[in-house]
Amino acid sequence: MKGIAGRHLIIVAVAVFAGVAGFLVSRGTSDPVPAAQVDPAAGNAILALTLPDSSGELQALQQWRGRVLVVNFWATWCPPCLTEIPDFAAVSRGFADSPVQFVGLGIDKAESVRKFREEHDVPYPLLIGTPQTLELTRALGNAVQALPYTIIFDRAGKIAHIKLGTLNRSELEGKIRALLDQ
């Protein structure tokens, strides 16, 4: 009886996991909360963050006001995050002469982020966040606290785009160009 009950428990657990994964993938195709419906206070809470970078120096997101700001919540243990970071790095380099700033908020250990940065030559700041940092995205529709999660602010500091799930290079470039043309 224990063997059968144990197998049923495993099947139920796999089914629940598959359901959650399917939900997350389906949610990754659009904004969790349309940017036009976002409470400005939720965006201000993100912009008010001051976090250590991968070298331990405190960095305030406010220092990049006036630029299109791409804030990417990610982790070294998150496979979809690792898939999109090369595109983020390439787009960041492509907009190096424009008023655009990328910032990665690693929900991870400082040592893991530092090692990742060294191995992958990420050209933008990687700051060290915590689960409490990720909690700020709940007000922006990230109820399950999933990664990757990207917020793009316009040059006035208003949220223009929110994405739960990966952003590919062309999608990211298009969103940034549209904001630069405003």
φ/ψ bin of 87: left (φ > 0), alpha (ψ from -120 to 50), beta (otherwise): alpha
| pLDDT of 35 | 75
pLDDT at res. 4: 53
Cβ of 138: how many Cβ atoms within 10 Å?
13
DSSP per-residue letters across 92-158: HHHTTTSSEEEEEEEES-HHHHHHHHHHHT--S-EEEE-HHHHHGGGGGT-TT--S-EEEEE-TTS-
The CATH architecture assigned to 31-180 reads 3-Layer(aba) Sandwich (3.40)
pLDDT of residue 79: 97
pLDDT block averages, 10 residues each, the chain of length 182: 46 34 42 73 93 95 97 97 96 97 97 94 95 93 94 96 95 96 87
Instruction: State residue 20's pLDDT score.
Output: 39
- Does pTM top 0.85 for this prediction? no
**Segments making up each domain of the chain, as ranges:** 31-180
Q: Which residue has the tokens 């496979």?
A: 79
Per-residue confidence (pLDDT) for residue 3, from 0 to 100: 54
Nearest of 34, 147, 155 to residue 101 by alpha carbon: 155
C-alpha distances (whole Å) from 108 to each of 53, 54, 98, 116, 165 are: 12, 11, 29, 11, 18
Q: How far is CA 56 from CA 26, 31, 49, 109, in A?
A: 36, 32, 15, 12
SS3 66: coil
Residue pair 167/87 in contact (Cβ under 8 Å)? The answer is yes
